[in-house]
Amino acid sequence: MSVFASLHEAQAFLEHNPDIEMFELFILDNNGVSRGKLLHRDELLAVYQSGRPLPSTILGLTINGDDVENSGLVWDVGDIDCRAYPISGSLQRMPWRLIPTAAVQVSMHPTEGLPATVADPRHLLAKVIQGLNADGYYPVMAAELEFYLLDQKPDRNGRPQPARDADGSRPRSTQVYGLRELEQIEPFLADLYSACKVQGIPARTAISEYAPGQVEITLEHRADALQAMDEAVRYKRLVKGVAHRHGMTACFMAKPFDDLAGTGMHMHVSLADAQGHNLFASDTADGTPLLRQAVGGMLGTLLDSLLMFCPNANSYRRFQTNSYAPLAATWGVDNRTVSLRIPGGPANSRHIEHRICGADANPYLAAAAILAGIHRGIREQCDPGPAVQGNGYAQATALLPTDWLTTLRAMEASTWAQEAFGREFLGVFLAVKRAEYRQFMGEVGEQDWRWYLNQA
């Protein structure tokens, strides 16, 4: 578990940033939604000295911000205040804001934050990492996030549409890896990279992805997996903020268009020893026996943890053949048609690319599920079976579920998930997902009218 930030960190920030007027205090809930408060400058030091009270319900809300009564965080505890404290290194300027503003991320205190502490997704990831550390394994991770840049105004049919390029035209063709496409969003990219630099976020390669208006920017690997996911969380907020400043919407929805590519969050992971040596490093393309055990563990726990990789009803629309999205529990070497890919490269760079998550997944929960699966694979010396050669889509047999309810029930029934994530955490997480499922299925919308209005 990372240590909470010191008072000195806040004092130094105030001294070096005398123009900052407001502070956005936020915590990430289980849906990956940032929730919190906007504070005045003179309120900041007290947060570092004695924490900030937040209602217990803040970590048990649906994606629409509704209370979930049977989460155990509402009436049962009287919506009690729980104290959250700042995460070290999270106090950063938000250069895209009109009012000089900085953000500070908080997490629930292990004891003062109860009962909400058990539902804090960052705590869950820290717990899983500690379990690996105790056995001498130190996860190295990075997130690779895709997103769409959309116009803030819908098209004439009320549907989302790609944002206009710098020349005023609207992108219509795929143009994957197109350089002109990146040049056309250069004003946005310039401000994005500048903001990343200010916040210390290691944004690297930008790619025009497999749909008009779709972009991917990679983040650098971090030897501290918790730090890597902290940066992924802040990066998503930063992308959305800069896009809004440019009159666009940055969309991390898994499948915003039925006829275009979905958006994924590829997670890169390896394990190091205490001295930082890559335990997956090997001159052979499929890595060390430890790497293959890690793959076996992830494949063996995939169904039990899929809800953390694909948390929403829309997430499952992304699973389509020949779409560069996964379809089955498969692995391969330098093969983008499988779920778990071992990229090529020098021996010391050997790692696993986990390609299952949608961009809508909570980075903390996705990383926790990946690492818990790896830990199981190592402990039980799981065999992943042969690597897929060639077209993994054509060879897929047992396909991943393509509906929300199946994965919700799989996690509910999983003894492994209860052991890996804890009954208390799953109690809140599954209560939220059940409530969202009921709400989603209870809403009559445009597709219902189009299909059934004149047919029933």
Strands (DSSP E) contained in 172-286 are 203-208, 214-219, 248-251, 265-272
**196 and 59 fall within a common domain:** no
Q: Give 443-455 pLDDT, tens digit per residue.
A: 998 889 989 988 8
Among candidate residues 82, 85, 86, 38, the one with its CA nearest the CA of residue 59: 82
Q: Which of 92, 116, 140 is the last residue of a domain?
A: 116
pLDDT of residue 210: 61
Which CATH number covers residue 350?
3.30.590.10
**For the chain, percent of residues with pLDDT exceeding 70:** 97
**16 and 99 fall within a common domain:** yes
Which residues, other chains included, contact 386 with Cβ-Cβ below 8 Å and sequence gap of 6+?
none
> How does DSSP assign 280-299, residue by residue?
T--SSTT--HHHHHHHHHHH
Expressed as residue numbers, the domain containing 20 is 7-116
**168 and 90 fall within a common domain:** no
336: pLDDT strictly greater than 70: yes
221: pLDDT strictly greater than 60: yes
Structure tokens at 416: 């492994």
Distance CA 71, CA 432 (A): 7
Burial of 413 (0-12, 13-18, 19+ CB in 10 A): exposed
Distance CA 189, CA 195 (A): 10
Q: Give 36-73 pLDDT, tens digit per residue.
A: 999 999 999 999 999 999 999 999 999 999 999 999 99
* Mean confidence (pLDDT) of the chain: 92
The mean pLDDT of 153-168, rounded to a whole number, is 86
Structure tokens at 25: 């205090």
Q: Which of 54, 84, 116 is the last residue of a domain?
A: 116
Distance CA 358, CA 316 (A): 9
Q: Is residue 421 part of a domain?
A: no
Mean pLDDT lowest for which of 99-113, 118-132, 192-206?
192-206
**228 and 300 fall within a common domain:** yes
Distance CA 3, CA 6 (A): 9
Which residues, other chains included, contact 454 with Cβ-Cβ below 8 Å and sequence gap of 6+?
none
Give the amino acid at 133.
N
Report the domain count for the chain.
Answer: 2
Report the helix count and the strand count for the chain, using DSSP H and E.
Answer: 14, 14
pLDDT of residue 182: 82
Residue 174 vs residue 285, higher pLDDT: 285
The mean pLDDT of 158-185, rounded to a whole number, is 80
**233 and 311 fall within a common domain:** yes
pLDDT of residue 184: 84
256: pLDDT strictly greater than 60: yes
Q: Which of 56, 86, 116 is the last residue of a domain?
A: 116
173: pLDDT strictly greater than 80: no
Q: How many CA atoms lie within 13 A of 6 on its CB side?
A: 3
Strands (DSSP E) contained in 334-440 are 340-342, 352-354
**213 and 93 fall within a common domain:** no
pLDDT of residue 287: 87
Sign of the alpha-carbon torsion through 371, 373, 376, 381:
negative
Q: Give 261-283 pLDDT, tens digit per residue.
A: 889 999 999 999 999 999 999 99
Q: Give 198-219 pLDDT, tens digit per residue.
A: 999 999 888 776 677 888 888 9
pLDDT of residue 1: 47
The pTM assigned to this predicted structure is: 0.95
**142 and 211 fall within a common domain:** yes
**For the chain, percent of residues with pLDDT exceeding 90:** 76
Mean pLDDT lowest for which of 159-173, 211-225, 420-434?
159-173
pLDDT of residue 323: 58
**183 and 221 fall within a common domain:** yes
Sign of the alpha-carbon torsion through 154, 159, 165, 170:
negative
What letter would DSSP give residue 39? Answer: E
pLDDT of residue 321: 65
pLDDT of residue 456: 64
pLDDT of residue 175: 67
Q: Is residue 428 part of a domain?
A: no
Q: Give 279-305 pLDDT, tens digit per residue.
A: 999 998 888 999 999 999 999 999 999
**373 and 398 fall within a common domain:** yes
**78 and 136 fall within a common domain:** no
**163 and 312 fall within a common domain:** yes
383: pLDDT strictly greater than 50: yes
2: pLDDT strictly greater than 90: no
**201 and 341 fall within a common domain:** yes
Q: Is residue 423 part of a domain?
A: no
Q: Is residue 212 part of a domain?
A: yes
Distance CA 287, CA 346 (A): 11
288-306: b (≥16 Cβ within 10 Å) or e: bebbbbbbbbbbbbbbbbb
